[in-house]
Structure 1
């Protein structure tokens, strides 16, 4: 085999033709080949080429500012985008909302599986994921923005059951990232926080007759890498680009954290977070974990991220935490390292994780919410002038055995105080989150209840349960007035239960949870 050609990032960018379809590696804030996308943006700025690209991604890569896919948010460079999670690349989301590009928001797990379908020469992905949400073509068909009119998703009947069909498409270029490459192009990823969809993307582009370019930190001799450590075989790789440390951060939050890869382990007790709304929600969420014997748990982005940290503070480990990036076990990271986990038990590719999720493998899912309405429907994907994208939310919320939505009761300037186990609203949030009808149907509560999935909402001041299509106020925080602080701060139809319990006072105290608390008794 001839050694793979090592080229510069500028040379790699020059290989991308006009009007092609490109896919990029990475998961959110992890593992994006920034050197390559930076060079592509620089080429376009200098030459106005390549133009009219179609971009396909599962978990959109970025830092909410200038890195990752945000570098490609230039009018004329992109024509169409099909993506799962958009929140970390807000510049591209704004292009979609302004009508500067055609845009489609599909479930992240579906796109992850689509890479495998394209690699295998299949016509597309057939799945129930997305039915009865804005993804369903009988609602919006996943279309985003005024420039998007093309219907891509269709409803089909298979054996008497409705499914959605997501079509395959040729992909011409892949920009991917690994840790090391040998001279034959075999790629290892031992220093990456997760494996994303790298193998499937490389196979898909190769089998479409396209070009696969991989950014790596180091080039090593032939046969010097463990064959079992190879995540992308060299037969799928066309070119290598050597990166520099400043363009190869492990995540956008950290240059390197060896606890994410198993190279080292951290058993150090974590410093407790200060008491705040998200910590209150996370503490109350621990009670739901205690209902199970060693449950398999998914934590979504946002407020649910705090559950992992609070569980570590309380030395609670009677569960297995997972993230859709493919990580199993350990403590999921927050912020711009979300998608990584300290001390993981195992790391799968993203598509395999979604196989497990879609098949009902999650016992308990903790997910964020931006809006919830009188019927329990939830919007996390689009509100106001912001496009978050649905990410893996629909895969998880439509498949988990039990779903708990976590977030503050209001948003935008909410300030809290705590005194002797009492919650004090010092400044109310400006944004009402419990409303009559959600702007965007990310979660269809009736569809979830049709499969007997229990639904709970945990906030800093109240816990609500969805029963027979109605929101029932079940618990209230000590110090909270139901009429003033809950009903008056919501336009949703909330039913007050005949007997409303108090949320445990211990979760509002500036100390670890009490050893006499029922959570700890149930854990023991």
Structure 2
């Protein structure tokens, strides 16, 4: 593949240094499906720790971001649920992992808001429940809403089926899940992809995440989430 001035393709050794101890790290994926396995493995191998994680869930103990959580590398997790990873539950109960729960739709909108530069979203989901505790509320048009702040991260990591060298991304059916939203919300976004093609080889109408949101592209060394449902 010829080198192009807009080529964002790097190897894993070049990009792992972007993810530092203590950073805020946002990840794509749903129950492990659609999470970037090569990047998560590199985080473990380079002993990255004390990270604040933002994503849909805690994965499984040995699949997706769950491997990172299970090894006590995260200090906080912002997610919609952790039920698929009992180790995360134990860490939370023992005070070893701070967990901020956010309803799934609200979480997705908070990430989207961060990606498009909004300060937050207004929602009535969670009114008169523990969800509203400690949160600002406002009245609009005679209705009360909870103010949910936008979410952004120092680094976002996503997984895609195919990319060109500029970082335009295509996803594989349901493995798309939260990845397009997460890709927009990182100061630095790293995309792990299964196939990399030259610029101009993707149909513009098929592109889901424009490359303007992606800073780095790496080649995946294989997925680990196929076994999540077996």
By the TM > 0.5 criterion, same fold? yes
Give matches, 1:249-264, under 5 Å.
249=225, 251-253=226-228
Is the CA contact 1:182–1:220 (under 8 Å) kept in the aligned structure 2? yes
Deviation, 1:105, is 0.7
Is the CA contact 1:178–1:217 (under 8 Å) kept in the aligned structure 2? yes
Separation in structure 2 between the aligned mates of residue 90 and residue 125 of structure 1, nearest angstrom: 31
The corresponding residue for 2:164 is 182
Give matches, 1:69-468, under 5 Å.
69-73=65-69, 74-75=71-72, 77-137=73-133, 151=134, 153-189=135-171, 191-205=172-186, 210-245=187-222, 247=223, 249=225, 251-253=226-228, 336=229
- Which structure has more relative contact order (CA 8 Å, sep 6+)? It is 2
Deviation, 1:2, is 1.9
Separation in structure 2 between the aligned mates of residue 192 and residue 33 of structure 1, nearest angstrom: 15
Residue in structure 1 matching 2:25, options 18, 22, 25 = 22
Deviation, 1:18, is 2.6
Separation in structure 2 between the aligned mates of residue 196 and residue 180 of structure 1, nearest angstrom: 15
Is the CA contact 2:36–2:158 (under 8 Å) kept in the aligned structure 1? yes
The corresponding residue for 1:415 is none
Is the CA contact 2:158–2:190 (under 8 Å) kept in the aligned structure 1? yes
Is the CA contact 1:199–1:231 (under 8 Å) kept in the aligned structure 2? yes
- For residues 437-479 of structure 1, the C-alpha deviation after alignment (integer angstroms, 9 at most, x for no partner) is xxxxxxxxxxxxxxxxxxxxxxxxxxxxxxxxxxxxxxxxxxx
Instruction: Tell which structure's C-alpha radius of gyration is larger.
Output: 1
TM-score, normalised to structure 2's length? 0.88
The corresponding residue for 1:2 is 6
Deviation, 1:248, is 5.5
TM-score, normalised to structure 1's length? 0.41
The corresponding residue for 2:34 is 31
Is the CA contact 1:218–1:242 (under 8 Å) kept in the aligned structure 2? yes
Q: Is the partner of 2:138 in helix, strand or coil?
A: strand
- Structure 2 residues not aligned, in runs of 5+: none
Deviation, 1:234, is 1.3
Deviation, 1:170, is 3.5
Separation in structure 2 between the aligned mates of residue 18 and residue 124 of structure 1, nearest angstrom: 27
The corresponding residue for 2:53 is 55
Q: How many residues align?
A: 225
Is the CA contact 2:170–2:207 (under 8 Å) kept in the aligned structure 1? yes
| In the alignment, structure 1 residue 41 sits paired with structure 2 residue 37 | no
